[in-house]
Amino acid sequence: MDDCILCGDYFNDFRRHLDKTWLDEFRAVYCVDEECRISGIGRDHGYLQGKVLVPLDETTRWTDRGVLFIRVSMMRRPCRNVDRARGFIFHDSCWRLLKEVYNQDPIPLRRLLEVCKSVPVDDHNRLLWSHEYGRREYNYQILDQVPCDPYNVPDVQHILSKPLHLPRFQPSRKAKCARKEHGRKADNPTSTMPDLSNDSHEKNYFKKLPFEILEEIASYLEVADFLRLRSVSKAFCSIFSSRRFWKIRFWNERGFIFEALDSTIQRRLNWQSLYWHTNGSKLSLALSNRKRVWTLNQMLQEKLDLRWIDDPKLRHDDPGDVNWEWREVHGEMIEESFREFSNGCRRFHRRWATLPPKVTKIGVSTIHDGRESYVTGMQVISEGSQPLQIGYMNPISARQVFAEITSLEGFTVAVGPGGIQAVQMIMGNDCQSGWLGRPDEEAAVTRRLAAGEPISALAMGFDGYKMQRLTGNCVVAPQDSRPKSSSEL
């Protein structure tokens, strides 16, 4: 049976474990006649040659009486003869955790299918996400014993039910020496406060701000960054013990303990103490696995939240100008729908547009996917015209970088098998901007799109969440001067 697309662990096929475990039950997200659905909870019954039987109704499970089932073919490998319903499967526990990541808001099923169809599969039919299911970061391996259920973790109730207190630390010999040498206390984030007797109103402008504004500033900082700020500005010392300071940062850094947000539990929680007791080094194996799957689901949510921009200035028909000659850079393309998709990328969308005159700025949207980063969209800004937007953008938490340019005469492109990772703009006199995006150290870097004169049109291809092809109309060398049709874009 296929592995879970969310956590990477297997499904119990009753050959590995005879006892009932959380690995037994799964759901499917699938599409029937362009309608995307989520199934009820199924079990290993009926799995045969890449097909599963799952309850038709989302609210039912395989044990219910009179439940209606639907047969779903796995989208693990493209094939010619398939059932009407095709999709992907995942553990019910992993799905419930994804719903918590979305804070019980609706999960966009169509986007989930689009994104999953953009990811290659390995020989075991596991989606080859760039994050590798957190195995590097969490040193996580699939062992013979039953993996820990990422949703039902008894350790959480144990942590939340007992009183939590911050430990008192004894200063180390190194800290004592530092106090003598510098004539002040060493900064200890849990038991001592920094000595900032030289902190004056004249030099420390933070002292002039109200406590509420200081608290708001602190809310944008990671804990480590806040501690550095606290060590140089006495104005922030009182915020360290503020209940609100620890509570507002809880979702971003400790969201995997989502049970703590229950209203009956919140009233008696010491957020600072809970933060300390759920530090990575103190997590049990079960909680560490939940944090791993939670982080994977957060990365998936970032992809699902991308929105395709249908700019009216974009076109998807044939450029129709035989005098235009195009050069392109792309990932390892898999064009035929019936071929095995074990590496590279696919194209779901293609758009092109002529560029406005006097382009002054280029912006790129990016997304981090484990050890790799990809371009998801591009924005072209010019004098006197509305911005031209191509590709995917996140309207809520856009990760965009811009570069000002004097002209656009091409691109230097960093590309990997999965698509475009970063670009540099080439201007007159062969000047280049900095990188927009984060090129991987294994990415190929090419100046194939260096035109030597202003580019007048761009074409791009995309899969379900990233750019996999970038094309510009360029002046080509005489030996390669044949016109290229739009089918080659």
What's 480's domain CATH number? 2.100.10.30
Show which of 88, 114, 145 is a domain's final residue.
145
User: Which domain-ending residue is among 92, 111, 145?
Assistant: 145
User: What stretches in the chain show pLDDT beneath 50?
Assistant: 46, 169-172, 174-176, 178, 182-197, 199-201, 322, 338-339, 475-489
pLDDT at position 1 is: 58
Residue 108 belongs to a domain: yes
Residue 246 lies in a domain: no
φ/ψ of 287, rounded to 5, equals -70, -35
Per-residue burial over 111-130, b = 16 or more CB atoms within 10 Å of its CB, e = otherwise:
bbbbbbbbbbbeeeebbebb
Task: Please report whether residue 168 resides in a domain.
Answer: no
pLDDT digits (tens, 9 = 90+) for 249-299: 788 889 999 998 887 787 778 888 888 888 878 888 899 999 999 999 999
- Dist. CA 270–CA 260, nearest whole Å: 10
What long-range pairs does 79-87 form, CB within 8 A, spacing at least 24? 79/338, 80/338, 83/51, 84/32, 84/33, 85/30, 85/31, 85/32, 86/30, 86/31, 87/28, 87/29, 87/30, 87/31, 87/113
Q: Which tokens belong to 91? A: 């553990």
Please state the domain count of the chain: 2
Last residue of a domain, one of 110, 145, 180: 145
Q: Which residues contact 319 (CB under 8 A, 6 or more apart)?
A: 352, 457, 459, 486, 489
Other C-beta atoms lying within 10 Å of the C-beta of residue 61: 16
For residues 159 and 245, what is the distance between their CA atoms, to the nearest angstrom?
21
**What digits encode the pLDDT tens for the residues 70-102?**
998 887 655 555 568 889 999 999 999 999 999
For residue 439, the enclosing domain spans 308-488
Q: Is residue 154 part of a domain?
A: no
Residue 369: half-sphere exposure toward Cβ, Cα within 13 Å: 25
214 part of a folded domain: no
Is residue 447 a part of any domain in this protein?
Answer: yes
| 157: in domain | no
Is residue 245 in some structural domain? Answer: no
Q: What is the pLDDT of residue 191?
A: 43
Q: Is 116 helix (H, G, I), strand (E, B) or coil?
A: helix
Number of other CB atoms surrounding residue 378 within 10 Å: 23
